[in-house]
Amino acid sequence: MTAGVGELAQRLLESVRAQDFGNTPDGWRGGAAVEAFPSIDLAVADFAHADGPRWANVLFSREFPQGWVAEIGSDAGAVRNIGFDADLQNARHESVAWLPGADWSRPDWTPIDAARVAAPQRFVAPYPASLLKLMIAVGVGLAVDRGLCPWPAALEPMITVSDNDATDDCVALLHRVGLLLPARGNALNAIFAAWGLGTLKVNDTTPRGGWRNADGAGVGHIHMTAWDTARLLWLLDPQAPPPPWLPAATPTLLPATRDRLLALLARQELGEVLSSGRLRGLPGWVPGLPDAPAFAHKTGSTDNYASDAGIVMGGGRHYAVAVLTGLGRRYAPHERCATTWRLPALGAAIDAMLAPAPA
């Protein structure tokens, strides 16, 4: 492993533990502490370290509340010691794995990546919520780069304010240009896999733009993990070092549209998960990561899920960070919040950890 990776993983473990997520109040339990330790998938790739890039992925759940360190090789390739299982919804299109009283010993969990079914530890990957729109945006960028369509107006509201109608338009566009046609094999999934990102998957969307649970997609069909999301951001970052898991001189992922996509991420208006600028002034406000544009990112949240991923630059910092959690709005302290204050507090701890030492 690259020098310092072990230290970074240990410090990430300690940062998560310090937030006491196991005592997070759950609104669906009348404000009592969460019934089981929440699932947290956190990955960081630090590009500004003096000895070269370093990275780490740590994961927490009811099955390992003290945390688990993902095994990642010196090539920054795929996680090797964890098998990621798909989230679940029931026949009524409800997300059920995170309900109070859910028994995780009963479901027949489905692996996201069959190549890792023999891994010594499994992790049920929380649904990414609107973070999935980052994958859709990359798909749209690919279509534009290939001359299959012009840059769509819907892309900006999909990213900057997480507009769902705009997402419908972008998903429908990807069907029209052939990147989301199951009859031909899911081309977008195949592209992610070819870039080494095997847990990024958009399945079962519809030609009319359906991507939610009620459309037969959503939870259990669309997947992301923190490490593969961080590596997707690595591929999009023109100032990051070459990705070591790919052959030398591999072409840029989005040669024509990357800068436009990054500019949208830098105009993010929903600072409410790892960053919290949108919530400044609320009772108990906790600062998090820097606000956009210093943090170019995309968030996601529902009642059950909160996620955030992006690139932080400035003040001597340069890193990609991604987190996917089972800590959605039901854990929020205020109706305007997307999640517990513990997540922006974690963001602030990560940013302080990666700040350059004083001269």
Say if 110 falls within a structural domain: yes
pLDDT one-digit tens code per residue, 270-293: 999 999 999 999 999 999 999 999
Structure tokens, 259:
């800068």
Residue 118 lies in a domain: yes
Does residue 4 surpass a pLDDT of 60? no
Number of domains in the chain: 1
- Helix ranges (H only) for 222-338 are 226-236, 258-265
b/e 294-325 (16+ beta carbons within 10 angstroms → b): bbbbbbbbbebbbbbbbbbbeeebbbbbbbbb
Measuring CA to CA, which residue among 335, 343, 308, 328 is closest to residue 98? 328
Residue 145 lies in a domain: yes
Residue 82 has pLDDT above 80, yes or no: yes
pLDDT in tens, 193-209: 999 999 999 999 999 99
pLDDT band at 121 (very low <50, low <70, confident <90, very high): confident
List pLDDT tens digits, range 52-72. 999 999 999 999 999 999 999
Range of the domain at 240: 5-354
What single letter denotes the amino acid at residue 260?
R
CATH number at residue 134: 3.40.710.10
Does 359 fall in a domain?
no
Q: Is the peptide bond before 293 cis (omega within 30 degrees of 0)?
A: yes
- Quick one: tokens of 295? 């943090």
Residue 343 lies in a domain: yes
Pairing mode, strands 121-124 and 306-314:
unpaired
Counting beta carbons within 10 angstroms of the beta carbon of residue 53, is it exposed (0 to 12), middle (13 to 18) or buried (19 or more)?
buried
Given a cut of 50, is residue 341 above it in pLDDT? yes
pLDDT band at 184 (very low <50, low <70, confident <90, very high): low
156's enclosing H/E stretch is helix 155-160
Q: What share of the chain is helix, strand, coil (3-state, %, to 5)?
A: 30, 20, 50
Residue 116 banded pLDDT, cuts 50, 70, 90: low
Lookup: tokens for 332: 């929020």
Q: Report the pLDDT averaged over residues 138-144.
A: 98
At 37, the pLDDT band (50, 70, 90 cuts) reads: very high
d(CA 5, CA 57): 10
Long-range CB pairs of 190-193 (<8 Å, 24+ gap) are: 191/139, 191/142, 192/135, 192/228, 192/232
Asked whether the whole model's pTM tops 0.85, one would answer yes
Give the pLDDT confidence score for residue 359 in this predicted structure.
Answer: 66
